[in-house]
Chains A and B, each alone.
Chain A
Amino acid sequence: MSNVAIHVEHLSKKYRLGQRQSDSKYRTLSESLLEWVSAPWRRLSRKDHRPSENIIWALKDISFDVQQGEVMGIIGRNGAGKSTLLKILSRITEPTAGSVDLYGRVGSLLEVGTGFHPELTGRENIYLNGAILGMKRTEIERKFDEIVDFAEVERFIDTPVKHYSSGMYLRLAFAVAAHLEPDILLVDEVLAVGDAQFQKKCLGKMGQVAQQGRTVLFVSHNLAAISSMCKTIIVLESGRLKLKGPTAQAIDYYQSTLNAQEDESNDFLPRSAARFRNPMIAPDHQAETSIQSGEPFSACIDLIVGKEFVGYDLFCILMDSLGNIVVHAHTDNRSFHHALAPGALKVKVSFPSLWLKPGLYSLHFKLIGAALDGEKIRLLSDHVPLSVSGEAAGEALLGVLTPPLQWAIHTTD
């Protein structure tokens, strides 16, 4: 057990629904008094006065271990309990049941720039924010130049941060946080802010932290970021731990649940407007289709149109297993001027040889349209898995395509 950095055992966290809704988050004294006065009465009139629907288990019986030096990712949909888990681990809120053991100094980064004060200068905010994150003053002094350098704000270090651009502000905020040196680092979605270059810089720093042998627990929606940093991933679903496994497997699983979710969302759409049916990859009529890397294939779908459309656009989208879009094609660049009459349509998209890297892909259709009665329609089809096989030419680990290339190398004379 000596190598375990984080040990989580049967962790659960319960919220009363009232506590979570922003409007009725806190009670007023009079409400509380009223409740207190009327409680005996209500108990008489109805037996269970606090129905179980009012309770949400943000986390339910979660157990896992993180080894020292391991970089673990946590993924899951909104409300799956990721942030609650990090909040418990960083002691911001208490669990309802279960326990956590943390071995080492813990630093948590649930937000960049926590406690930044707009009236204070960059220099002052570095000290303040450092202290808030748990750094000692001597530690901040030692790293001060490095932080300023990383943030690229040397010239403005004695200017109140309210005059900073949002980019400078973020860079400074992240720079302080990035120089925290805990044994265990808990990070939540910090990279969701800032421009691409900033995100890249943050990622680089995070990767560096990971390489120093620190234990990192990393929550993100950015699957690319998470898969490049983490070897192991935990998938949370409605507060339960669904899977803990190697990155590729976990991301695969997560995406399959994501797709299922999108199907559910179709149920809310008016069935009458339009409907997708039987998406498949030809020629196979099976649920899962396998092709060779260089093999042409086509995708088909039935579209049942229930109303008159004044304009529409149809998309065919191919994604890799990390959720990166490989192909995002649509019917016509000038479209949206095409009317569509009610009836059943067959759609077929023929792909040439794409030379996709062997692996699992997923294909789906999307319809965007405007009906005659003014209704806007956005419709997604089911995902069809596409498994591409073939030997990865030269074991190409990087890139998306593995076309069969001809190399010609000659001497010049």
Chain B
Amino acid sequence: MQLNTFHSEARLTIEIISPHKQEKTHLHIEATQGWVALRLQELWEYRELLYFLTWRDIKVRYKQTVFGVAWAVIQPFFTMIVFSLFFGKLAKVPSDDLPYPIFSYAALLPWNLFASSLGQSANSLVNSANLIKKIYFPRLVIPLSSVLSGTVDFAIAFTILLGMMIYYGIRPTSTVWLLPFFLLLTLITALGVGVWLSALNVEFRDVRYVVPFLIQFWLFATPVAYPSSLLTGGWRILYGLNPMTGVVEGFRWALLGTQPPSAMLGVSAFISLAIFVSGVLYFRRMEKGFADLV
């Protein structure tokens, strides 16, 4: 009786659920032990959530900033100027016979995508604690969306590169079609490392402090400000153990026509896939405890 009075106030029509509902979904919940299946199909079912979370990250990123989207350009552009001054002009670092500014900018693009995606995704789970504790969805969506949202900045910064190529009169090479592949490899590497760190961050908050260091050291260990051609023979292949080496040199090769990274790229791609697969497996294994720990 009480309810009836409420109904009239709610002033909502009562919907009749269709009798021909799709067959009942059945869900079984039980404690899982050890390594678990990846359930990629479920991730696919939640693609709209992935889309909205990515969209939210992009939308919110430059709100209440004075320069707004311009930040996507300012960051790599000024880094490029600083690098050109100190490494190119003063230290006379070789640049594979290319103008140093475009040489470094072509590497800064994938590097910045990697570094920002990594930073975002490593903290993503902890920052989304509120979501994780209140609602179920495949947790991989969270680091994935923070990596994907970085691609918008990349696209914006890429337009500057096109302008520079015109300015320096550099024609795209015949291998430019490989660019999406290198972009994908950047994302896979960032996601692989990001997934590892985000899951570790849930249990060990030290990770938050490790990430800036890691990114800084990694930048110097990657041929962004200098060419990998400083190394020869077997050393180059060993250098490929840093997955970002292959990615960065791949970008230069596809865009500017430097020498192909060949074997080094193979090693890099293998390492980045290994990090990615192991990261996702580890993430899935730890996932069930996130809500209790985060």
Contacts and interface: CB of A to CB of B under 8 A. Distances in A.
Query: Which bracket fits the contact residues of B?
Result: 35 or more
Nearest to B27: A102
B29 A99 contact: yes
Interface in B176-227: 202-206
B131 A114 contact: yes
B56 A128 contact: yes
Q: Which of B27, B205, B288, B289 counts the most chain A CB atoms within 10 A?
A: B27
24 contacts: A27-B204, A28-B205, A30-B206, A87-B291, A93-B288, A94-B32, A94-B288, A98-B30, A99-B28, A100-B30, A104-B24, A104-B25, A108-B136, A110-B134, A114-B134, A119-B60, A124-B56, A132-B131, A134-B49, A134-B137, A146-B12, A181-B15, A204-B3, A398-B1
B52 A99 contact: no
Interface residues of A, dominant DSSP: mixed
Nearest to A95: B31
B130 interface: yes
B130 A208 contact: no
A209 B92 CA distance: 72
Contacts of B30: 95, 98-100
Contacts of A95: 29-31
Contact of A208 (B12, B49, B206, B288): B12
Q: Which of B16, B17, B29, B49 counts the most chain A CB atoms within 10 A?
A: B29
For the complex of A and B, list the 3 residue pairs with the smallest distance between their C-beta atoms, beginning with the closest. Answer: A204-B6, A204-B10, A91-B136
B14 interface: yes
B20 interface: no
B204 A208 contact: no
A229 B3 contact: yes
A114 B130 CA distance: 7
Interface in B19-66: 21, 24-32, 48-49, 51-53, 55-56, 59-60, 63-64
B69 interface: no
Given A103-B25, A117-B56, A228-B3, 8 more contacts: A90-B135, A93-B289, A96-B31, A108-B135, A208-B10, A208-B12, A212-B17, A214-B17
Contact of A105 (B15, B25, B289): B25
A200 B136 contact: no
A289 to B, nearest CB: 30
Given A119-B60, A132-B137, A137 B292 contact: no
Given A95-B31, A120-B56, A207 B17 contact: no
Contacts of B289: 93-94
Contacts of A286: none
A92 B288 CA distance: 8
B293 interface: yes
Interface in A317-351: none
Contacts of B205: 26, 28
A34 to B, nearest CB: 13
A213 B14 CA distance: 12
Interface in B270-294: 288-289, 291-294
B204 A204 contact: no
A88 B29 contact: yes
Contacts of B53: 128, 131
Contacts of B292: 15, 19, 93
Given A119-B64, A204-B9, A208-B12, A90 B136 contact: yes
A100 B31 CA distance: 10
B131 A115 contact: yes
Contacts of A132: 49, 52, 131, 135, 137
B212 to A, nearest CB: 16
Nearest to B14: A208
Nearest to A99: B30
A43 interface: no
A211 B13 CA distance: 12
Contact of A26 (B16, B59, B131, B293): B293
B36 to A, nearest CB: 10
Contacts of A200: 6, 9
Given A114-B130, A119-B63, A207 B288 contact: no
A346 to B, nearest CB: 42
